[in-house]
Structure 1
Amino acid sequence: MADQGLLAHQRQAIILEAVRRDGAVRVAELVGRLGVSDMTIRRDLDALARSGAVRKVHGGAVAVSGAGAEEHAFEAESAWERAAKAAIADAAAALVEPGSVVALSAGTTAHAVAARLLDVPRLTVLTNSLPVAETLRLADRERKGDAPVVLLTGGTPTRSAALVGTLADRTIGSLHVDLLILGAHGVSERAGLTSPHLAEAQTNRALIAAARRVAVVADHTKWGVIGLSSFARLDEIDWYVTDDGLPEEARSVLAGAVGELIVAPAADA
């Protein structure tokens, strides 16, 4: 039911409650729910963003990702920046060589890469992501064994469907990986790659230590976000794969710090 006739502060309170509950909101959904125009919702989001209550992204807003902010559930994160993630996944998959051992971290962008690896021959995939493992398991069943071999790290699942902890870290530490495709909660010049989850940050460090080369996959909304714990410096990254929504200033910083910056053009969502 549309909530027409609400004052601006009443609409913004409803929007803020939805962001805190779901981790994110879409402009189109709010237009339908509140019975106001697209422009009115965007003004409300601008006001909330100026107050620091939310962070605007393409098509809506997400919860503020300060150092102490909690990670979003995998399902909520999956709905955002889909076009950007698809473009990034295509570019990252092109870095994978047949017959190699590839690690995929947790996160929705790394998960998007997984589906693009199904046609790479003789591939072995190590992952601490339950969704990645499930995607590859279902593909293996459908293709009757003609899919990448999957090695799951084990460990304790987080809200973002990542397996972390001592068991995961020990498993990763005993293996050698040709390429790690690594997601991040946030990226900045000062803090590098960060996570709001201490155990997940530690498991990401273990993945980096096990890999010969590292490709970070992060859409433009991750830039400038700083989580609680850093797990990699920018100069530890061989490839940084992002979308063309990344500001020029950020591109300049990354181009000077990482091995290679790859900017994938995202189709309009």
Structure 2
Amino acid sequence: MACFLKAINLSVYLVASRIILFACFIAYVLTGNLLTAKTVFVTMTLFNRLRTTLTLLFPNAIAQCAELAVSCTRIQTFLELGEMEPKTYNTKNFGNLTALHMTNVKPKVFVNNISAKWSEDSPFATIENISFHLNPGDLLAVIGPVGSGKSSLLMSILNELPVLEGSIQTVGTISYASQEPWSFNNSIRNNILFGSAYDEHRYIQVVHVCALERDLQVFPFGDKTLVGEKGVILSGGQKARITLARYGIHGTGSLCHSPID
């Protein structure tokens, strides 16, 4: 819809001034006035001065206001959502939660027969009857065709997708890497650390594992090179490797990586 409105605005911008001038000159002559070169020149100059404002900026402002109204409606709908219940922890087997965090207990994830869907109006569940237990050192790869619910399963573990049935129990921290890599305007090192303290040994190890060494050699200032609007423009692969490195730096608990297509 937005592209359709932009196409209409551009079409109006290109032809409106000529149509308006033609209509004005016809009306001027039909009312008994003599059309002179001076009148034509002054009229065309005035309309050219107003052309951008009346035929481009004003319609664009109307279109932007329409998009603003839609965005405000979405934000309001999101802010008015009810509070989600926090995830439960299996305290029966692992003792006091405070003690767990203080002693750096090894991460665990228990998913017990969960079913979930994004829309309450949908007659079908996005994921249904999923169960698995992950203990320290376990690796789980979820495979399936597009739209089979791989990302939805991760969203349910992150408590972003409400669970209709079953339960999810987690112990420890969870690191998540989305399918679409991203970076912010700062140095490559800060993009990787993302607020964490700099541990040289772990940092070098993560950079090596994520195959970033060659990229850092190419960049003019290594990992201190600025990226983003005021720095180096990263390729899709470089963004993905930096995102994976960020994920590795923070990956002290359970690790969740969104589907790789």
TM-score by length of 2: 0.21
Larger Rg: 2
More strand by share: 1
* Structure holding more helix per residue: 2
- Normalising by structure 1, report the TM-score: 0.21
